[in-house]
Amino acid sequence: MSPWRAAARRFRRNRPAVAGTVVVAAMAAAALLAPLVTVDPLAQPDPVGLQDRPPSAAHPLGTDPYSRDVLSRTLHGAQVSLLVGVGAALLAVTLGTGVGLAAGLGGRRTDEVLMRGVDVALALPRIVLLLAVFAIWDRAPPAAVVVLIAATGWFQTSRIVRASVLGLKQADFVAAARALGSGRGGIVRRHLLPHVAAPVIVSASLDVGNIILLEAGLSYLGLGVRPPTPTWGNMIMDGKDVLLSAPWVALAPGCALVLTVVAFNLAGDGLRDALDPKAA
C-alpha cells in the first residue's frame, strides 16, 4: 500500500479529524451557496423598522443594527474567511517551501542570508505589522489581504522545509540518485518534495485556523476587508454594542468563527497524526 493511501486510512479512522473535515466542507458549501439561498447581505428592506430584530421566519438569525439579514451576512462572511484562510495558507506554504529549498540546497551563504532574514522577520510581531500596513492602505482589496497575510506567514514553513532538506540531502537514496546521474531538479521533485510534503501540509492546515482568526481580528478593528462587505470580524464589531439587547448579531458570526477554526484545527491535527505516525 502506498504511504499516501496508508495515511488516508489512518485519517479516516480518526473521528475528530473526520468531523472537522465535514464541518469545513459544510462551511465551504454554505459559503458557496450563500448567494443562491439567502437574501442580499447588503439589503436594508426597511432601514429603520427592522433594526435588531430577533430571529423570525423571514430572518432566521434575526437582523443587525442596520436592518440586514444576519444569516445571509454570516454565510457571506464565510466566503471571506475561507478565501483568506485557505488562500493565504496556500500562498504562505508555497513561499516557505521555495525559500526553505533554496536555503537547504543553496550554498552556505545563501542559507545564512535567508535564515537570518527569517530570524529577523520572526522577531517582528505579525499583527502589529499588518495593522500598520492596513492602517495606511485604507481600501485594500481582499486579494491584498491574502497576499499580505501570506507574506508575513511563511517563515515557520521555510524553517521546517530547510531542516528536512538538510537532513535529506545526506540521505543515502539522494546520494544514490546522484550517483546514477539524476539532476538537481529531478532530485528535488522526486526525492525531496515528497518527503517535505507531509510536514508542510500539516503546518498549512493548522495555519488556516490561525489565519482565519487573524483576519477576523483585523476586520473587527475595521481593517483589511472593509464594510459593508460582511466578514465575521466586522459583524462581531457591529454586534458588540447591542450584545445584551440583540445577542444574535454577534453570536452568529462568533459561533461560525469558533466552529470553523476548531474544525480546521481538528482536521490539521488529524493530518499530522496520519502523515507522521512518529510524531503522534
Partner 1 sequence: MSGPSRAPLLEVRDLAVRFTGFDGVARAVDGVDLTVSEGETVGLVGESGCGKSVTALALLRLIEPPGHIAHGSSVRLEGRDLLALGAKEIRAVRGNHVALVFQEPLSALNPVLRVGRQIAEAIRAHEAVSRSTARWRAVEMLAAVGIADAERRAASYPHQLSGGMRQRVLLAMALACRPKLLLADEPTTALDVTIQAEILELLDGLQHKLGMAVLLITHNLGIVAERTRRVYVMYAGQIVEEAATERLFAAPAHPYTQGLLAAVPRLDERRERLRAIPGQVPPATAWPAGCRFHPRCPYAWEKCRTEMPPLLEAAPGQKARCWLVQEPGRRKSRPDGEVTK
Q: Which is nearer to partner 1, 125 or 183 (CB)?
A: 183
CA distance 273 to 253: 30
Q: Which of 59, 68, 162, 191 binds partner 1 (CB under 8 A)?
A: 191
Q: Which of 47, 186, 222, 228 binds partner 1 (CB under 8 A)?
A: 186
Q: Can residue 179 be called a binding residue for partner 1 (CB under 8 A)?
A: yes
Q: Which of 182, 251, 255, 262 binds partner 1 (CB under 8 A)?
A: 182
Q: Is 69 helix (H, G, I), strand (E, B) or coil?
A: strand
Question: Minimum CB separation from partner 1 for residue 110, in Å?
Answer: 13
Q: Can residue 2 be called a binding residue for partner 1 (CB under 8 A)?
A: yes
Q: Can residue 106 be called a binding residue for partner 1 (CB under 8 A)?
A: no
Residue type present at position 109: R
Q: Can residue 167 be called a binding residue for partner 1 (CB under 8 A)?
A: no
Residue type present at position 169: K
Backbone phi and psi for residue 51, each to the nearest 5 degrees, phi listed first: -70, 140
CA distance 243 to 230: 18
Q: Can residue 279 be called a binding residue for partner 1 (CB under 8 A)?
A: no
Question: Minimum CB separation from partner 1 for residue 190, in Å?
Answer: 6
CA distance 159 to 156: 5
Question: Minimum CB separation from partner 1 for residue 180, in Å?
Answer: 3
Q: Which of 42, 129, 177, 259 binds partner 1 (CB under 8 A)?
A: 177
Q: Can residue 56 be called a binding residue for partner 1 (CB under 8 A)?
A: no
Q: Which of 25, 32, 43, 176 binds partner 1 (CB under 8 A)?
A: 176
The cell numbers describing 32, all together, are: 458557496
Angle at 251 between CA 145 and CA 230, to 5 degrees: 35
Q: Which is nearer to partner 1, 9 or 190 (CB)?
A: 190
Question: Which chain residues interact with partner 1 by CB under 8 A?
Answer: 2-3, 171-173, 175-183, 186, 190-191, 194-195
